[in-house]
Amino acid sequence: MNSRRQFIKNSARAALVAGAVPSLISWAFPQKPVVEVPGEDGMILRSFRFIDLETPVEYFNTWLTPTGHFFVRNHMYEPVELDRGSWRLSIGGEVEKPLTLSWAELSRIESHSVVNTLECAGNGRSLQRPQVPGIQWGKGAVSTARFSGPRLRELLQRAGVKSTGKHVMFRGLDEVPGKVPPFIRSIPIEKALDSDTLVAVQMNGAPLTKHHGFPARALVPGWIGAASCKWLTEIKVLDAEFVGNFMSPAYRFPNQPGKPGDAVKPEDTHPLTALSVKSVIAGPSNDATLKNGRVAVHGAAWAGEADIVKVEISTDGGATWSPARLGRDQSHYAWRLWSYDWKPGKPGDYIVQSRATDNQGRTQPVAPIWNPSGYLYNAIDQVNVHVA
């Protein structure tokens, strides 16, 4: 073989012959690898066998995230066989009248819609120091969609929750390898009975895709993504919180912030519920070189069950802050897009930061609360740019 160039030329020819251009080009150009995942568009690949896809922050420019850009988090393998004909949803446990619903029966129940920003509890994990194990999400395990389906409350009322019913457990059809504990969690009955908690069957007006839980998923708005169980097949009312790996030790947060790297005793933790206040800069990109003039700094901000009241921008390393303009589109559990018209004035290197505040008085901190699993990272966001 004479040279790398010849090799690349041959590879490209082979790729065209094979009709598998993206995969083979990615093989020949290891610096720009690309993988085919049908239905997914330019996503950051964190895991393939159980699909974990991160949304690149530059996609945070539409209030509703197109499904092909919506982050995917699977703990286990997706169910191999799924069809609405044989699918059933059971509602049991601490109820007067256990039910089993077919797809046709579920479809006859009145549908309700909620625009919700869904964020993985581990979003931003890779930014924690010291580093912690888990999927090494950057900033993009978060997206927003309009979810539609029957209210969970309606199903629970049909089954008749007993006075002993305190928590509601969800079980999905995902397939568990080895002796890994199944991905089962529960939410308190109050949140389950909230009028915005759904058994969602649609996302942005279309049936759920397989990666997002077809044919039905829980949608627990404002809460960590793990609460919104996909491929839902069983709802069980319990007299206490579900006992299992994904309630403890997983998905728990320290009661008191400790020093980064310190161990946290299980009894000093609580289950994660609602999301933190947070903003992310979608543009300009980190390490971008910009022409001097007007620069549109823009991004998204969200606060779980709370509402964003302001996003501020600093271009001087946090010494001074100016308000960004909040986008018009809003809904209680959805992010707000924001933008800031920046005129750098003179060339040089700049640190651009964003800081969100919500109506509960929470503001993004300078440093995240470190915890052993890297949950709820929400430090002030930052990009470094060069103005030429």
- Which two three-digit tokens encode residue 310? 């302001």
Scanning residues 300 to 359, which ones bind other proteins (CB under 8 A)? none
Q: Minimum CB separation from other proteins for residue 37, in Å? A: 4
Q: Minimum CB separation from other proteins for residue 149, in Å? A: 27
- Rounded to whole angstroms, the Cα distance separating 318 from 320 reads 6
- Which two three-digit tokens encode residue 61? 């420019």
Q: Minimum CB separation from other proteins for residue 379, in Å? A: 18
User: Nearer Cβ to other proteins, position 32 or 328?
Assistant: 32
List Cα–Cα distances, 225 to 73, 75, 217, 221, 236, in angstroms. Answer: 8, 12, 11, 9, 19
By CB under 8 A, tell whether 206 contacts other proteins. no
User: Nearer Cβ to other proteins, position 120 or 218?
Assistant: 120
Q: Minimum CB separation from other proteins for residue 92, in Å? A: 28
User: Nearer Cβ to other proteins, position 20 or 99?
Assistant: 20
172's enclosing H/E stretch is strand 167-172
The piece of 179-187, 224-232, 274-282, 380-388 that touches other proteins (CB under 8 A) is: 179-187
Count of other CB atoms within 10 angstroms of residue 74: 19
By CB under 8 A, tell whether 11 contacts other proteins. yes
| Contact between 116 and 222 (Cβ < 8 Å) | yes
Site string for other proteins, 40-79 (x = CB under 8 A): xxxxxxxxxxx--xx-x-----------x-----------
Nearby residues of 103 by Cβ (< 8 Å), 6 or more positions away: 84, 85, 87, 215
Q: Minimum CB separation from other proteins for residue 206, in Å? A: 16
Site string for other proteins, 104-133 (x = CB under 8 A): ----------------------x---xxxx
Please pick, from the candidates 88, 100, 105, 181, the single residue that binds other proteins as defined by CB under 8 A: 181
Among residues 126, 373, 122, which one has the least CA distance to residue 263? 373
User: Nearer Cβ to other proteins, position 45 or 109?
Assistant: 45
- Rounded to whole angstroms, the Cα distance separating 336 from 310 reads 10
User: Nearer Cβ to other proteins, position 50 or 103?
Assistant: 50
- Rounded to whole angstroms, the Cα distance separating 322 from 343 reads 12
Strands (E), 239-358: 252-254, 269-271, 278-283, 288-290, 295-302, 308-314, 322-323, 325-326, 336-342, 348-358
User: Nearer Cβ to other proteins, position 340 or 377?
Assistant: 377
Report which residue type is found at 262. D
Residues that bind other proteins (CB under 8 A): 1, 7, 10-11, 13-15, 17-28, 32-38, 40-50, 53-54, 56, 68, 126, 130-133, 135-136, 177-181
